[in-house]
Amino acid sequence: MTSPVPSERQQQQTQTAGPARASCRTSGARAAGLRHLGQFATVLALLIAAARPSMADPLDLNLRTFYDPNRPVAELREDGNYQKLMSELAHVIGPRFAGPAHSLGALGFEAALELSFAGINNNAGYWKAAEGTAPSTVSTFQMRVRKGLPYSVQVGASLTHLSDSNFWAIGTELTFSLIDGFVSVPDLGLRLSAQSVLGHQDISMLVAGGDLVLSKSFGIAGVVSLQPWVAYSTLFSTVTTEQIEVYPDNTTLEPEVMLLGRVNNFSHRAAIGLRLVVLRMTIGGEFIRSFSNGLNLFTGKIGLDF
């Protein structure tokens, strides 16, 4: 006895059922991933809220203390206090989490939340002049996304906020995975980044960075990926200020005396980090040491890979 031959319509339904089920599974995984990311954001927000009480005074710097109508700008710059303050601000709010060096792939996408704690020279005269009583450690919160492109290229964007202040930074980055995916050779990557610092009426700051990253991925049980890395970083910042509400209305404006002018800072940093990938979830940490001002920066990260 022969089995009945399926009709043409039945064959079409059978052919389309498989892709439909796969699409549903993919959509379900993405929805679950977004729910997890929302939970991560809530946890990180609670951590930030817990860190805030230790900083009683807002970190909105009072730059008016650096103006002196009786001293030329050249003398104000020679003492280096204003320039040191701007260098530390760039270190606190600048780029972080350079690694690992491997590519996300042409279709890869990463969304992450990062919480950083940075040490500052709060006992230095320039911090006392600009802030009064500043904490020894300040925190920043960053939201960051990265998208993979063909040829082992990644682009990214970030939004950073300095806690207890009005400072925000909008950033962009471009990463090249120069050596990627070899079994016996570490991955090598180059990241270029730029950030515009906003939120302070007297400061216009641009921070640019370059990172050379060396990393290696180790698989564990086919489920977990362990990705340590080391990096050398350079950080360049350029700052200009505006003279606002410093002198009486009837004072004649003398830019060569009243305005601090543009200052540029260049620093060298080293970083070591670790990224753990479990299924689509990523957890990581990074430690940065600045050789130029002796400051440290620690960042914790949690996110999702799609």
Q: Does the structure show a pLDDT above 60 at 244? A: no
Tens digits of per-residue pLDDT, 52-97?
A: 444 434 687 877 777 666 665 555 555 678 888 889 999 999 999 8
Confidence of residue 46 (pLDDT cuts 50, 70, 90): low
The closest of 178, 237, 189 to 211, measured between CA atoms, is 189
Question: 105-140 as b/e, with b when 16 or more CB fall inside 10 Å?
Answer: beeeebbbbbbbbbbbbeeeebbebbbeebbebbbb
- The separation between CA 162 and the C-alpha centre of its own chain, rounded to angstroms, equals 11
Whether a cis peptide bond, with omega within 30° of 0, leads into 100 is: yes
Alpha carbon dihedral 27, 30, 32, 35, in 10-degree steps, equals -130
**Cα 8–13–17 angle (5° rounding)?**
155
Q: What are phi and psi of 58, to 5 degrees?
A: -60, 150
The closest of 160, 188, 186 to 173, measured between CA atoms, is 160
pTM of the entire structure?
A: 0.76
Domain locations along the chain = 9-305
Q: Which of 119-128, 138-147, 176-185, 216-225 has the highest mean pLDDT?
A: 138-147
- Of the ranges 7-21, 55-69, 227-241, which one carries the lowest mean pLDDT score? 7-21
Q: Locate tokens 């509400």: which residue?
A: 245
Choice between 2 and 303, residue whose per-residue pLDDT is larger: 303
Q: Cβ–Cβ contacts within 10 Å for residue 205, how many? A: 23
Residue 121, sorted as left (phi over 0), alpha (psi -120 to 50) or beta, turns out to be beta
How far apart CA 199 and CA 167 sit, in angstroms, is 5
Q: Which pair of structure tokens corresponds to residue 134?
A: 């500043």
User: What is the CATH class of 9-305?
Assistant: mainly beta
